[in-house]
Structure 1
Amino acid sequence: MTVPDVDRVSFVKEWEDWHRAKEEVLAGPHGFLAITSLHWLTPEPSVFEDAPGAWSAGPAGVLVELPEGEELTLDGQVIRGRRHDFGVIAERDSLYVGWGDAVLEVAKRGGNDILRPRHPGSRLRTEFTYTPAYEPDPRWVVAGRFLPFAESRPVTVGAAVEGLEHVYDSPGEVEFELAGARHRLTAFNGRAPGGLMVLFTDRTSGVTTYAANRSLQIGAPGPDGRVTIDFNRAGNLPCAYTDLATCPLPPAGNRLPVAIEAGERIPLERGGRP
Structure 2
Amino acid sequence: MVSFAQQWATWHDEHERRRAAPHGFLAITGLHWLTETPQRFPDAPGEWRAEPDAVVAVLESGERRFPAGQDTMVEHGDLRLEVAWRGGHGVLRPRDPHHATRVRYLGTPAYTPDEKWAVPGRFVPFDAPRPVTVGSVVEGLEDVYESPGRIEFTVGGEDLSLTAFNGGTPGSLFVLFTDATSGITTYPANRSLSIAAPAPDGSVVVDFNRATNLPCAYTEFATCPLPPAENRLPIAVEAGEQLPR
Aligned to 1:165: 142
Q: 5+ unaligned residues in a row in structure 1: which ranges?
A: 1-6, 71-79, 269-274
Aligned to 1:44: 37
Aligned residues: 245
Letter in 1 for 2:53: A
Render the CA deviation track for 1:61-95: whole Å, top value 9, x for unaligned: 110112xxx3xxxxxxxxx22x222222x2xx420
Query: Does 2:65 align with 1:85?
Result: yes
Letter in 2 for 1:266: L
Aligned ranges for residues 221-236 of structure 1 at < 5 Å? 221-236=198-213
Aligned to 1:240: 217
Render the CA deviation track for 1:203-246: whole Å, top value 9, x for unaligned: 00000000000000001001110001100001000001111000
Letter in 1 for 2:211: A
Query: Does 2:117 align with 1:140?
Result: yes
Aligned to 1:58: 51
Take 2:146 and 2:66, find their aligned partners in 1: how far apart are those partners? 26
Cα RMSD of the aligned pairs, angstroms, is 1.0
Take 2:93 and 2:107, find their aligned partners in 1: how far apart are those partners? 23
Aligned ranges for residues 96-135 of structure 1 at < 5 Å? 96-135=73-112
Higher gyration radius (CA): 1
Query: Does 2:223 align with 1:253?
Result: no
Take 1:259 and 1:204, find their aligned partners in 2: how far apart are those partners? 5
> TM-score, normalized by length of structure 1?
0.88
Query: Does 2:117 align with 1:150?
Result: no
Identity over aligned residues, as a percent? 59
Which of 159, 165, 184 in structure 2 is aligned with 1:207?
Answer: 184
Aligned ranges for residues 4-83 of structure 1 at < 5 Å? 10-66=3-59, 70=60, 80-81=61-62, 83=63
Take 1:13 and 1:192, find their aligned partners in 2: how far apart are those partners? 24
Take 2:46 and 2:134, find their aligned partners in 1: how far apart are those partners? 34
> TM-score, normalized by length of structure 2?
0.98
Take 1:254 and 1:86, find their aligned partners in 2: how far apart are those partners? 35
